[in-house]
Structure 1
């Protein structure tokens, strides 16, 4: 897996103060995407064990981890993202993971990584459907609280 960048202190991509990783690789090619540079799965830098360790260290003083892209659930990214989520939850069981994907929940609901996610935002970005809802770029996108005490799904 490759990644474009990560933010060590992010107030925009989820609740609280977060560490946000933007991975490379996206098959959706949404018109109007603000992050087109991440579509090529080989763009950016390799996500090495050293990068993962640095990312996890940063999470110690923040509320959680956010995963965006590109698409963290691009087929090439699924195993490394699963490994990262496992490592995060083993180290920080009380912190949350948010993940944005262009896939619909119904397409990915059986992926093992969902067992580690607290919040999933699904659906391709649709530039002709602007949204005022928090953490969503377009109105077709849905927010699932997968492991919240009172889990909600649209």
Structure 2
């Protein structure tokens, strides 16, 4: 897996100060994508063990309230277990909540075993492709009105989508 950027301290994505990973690679090609250079799976740097350890170190900072995973498309990082292993380490070693942005809908994700495996590590999912026709800059944590902010754990438990915003 390649990544485009790591933000040690991010205050623009999610509540509070967070550590953010932007993965590389996305096939959605949403019109108006603000990370279009990150659509190439080879963009950026290789996410290796050293990078993973550094990311975990960042998240252990007491100022960090949670972790964000964006892209590119995190749910397309299933050719290996790099992202899954990172998410598991975050849960085990930091217990910080994980927010993940995906162009896939919740329903599409839970129907794919590899994507569901990633989702099981996530606390909040912002789902759905960015739609320029539904762009709304006043929305919290998302760019278009079709996207949902979903409580993953409650949704999986209740077998229906539970939004938090």
Query: Are 2:127 and 1:122 aligned?
Result: yes
Q: 1:139 maps to what in 2? A: 145
Q: 1:11 maps to what in 2? A: 11
* Cα RMSD after superposing both structures: 1.8
Deviation beyond 6 Å, 4+ runs, structure 1: none
Q: How does 1:103-118 map to 2 (within 5 A)?
A: 103-109=104-110, 110=113, 111-118=116-123
Equivalent residues of 2:23, 2:69 under 8 A apart: yes
Equivalent residues of 1:25, 1:77 under 8 A apart: no
Q: How does 1:2-151 map to 2 (within 5 A)?
A: 2-61=2-61, 62-76=64-78, 79-93=81-95, 95-109=96-110, 110=113, 111-131=116-136, 132-147=138-153
CA distance in 2 between partners of 1:77 and 1:146 (Å):
23
- What's the offset of the Cα at 1:81? 1.5
- What's the offset of the Cα at 1:115? 1.6
The total of aligned residue pairs comes to 152
Normalising by structure 2, what TM-score? 0.86
CA distance in 1 between partners of 2:134 and 2:53 (Å):
38
Q: Give the match's secondary structure for 1:128.
A: helix
Normalising by structure 1, what TM-score? 0.92
Of Structure 1 and Structure 2, which has the larger fraction of its residues in helix? 2
- What's the offset of the Cα at 1:133? 2.0
- What's the offset of the Cα at 1:147? 3.0
- What's the offset of the Cα at 1:82? 1.0
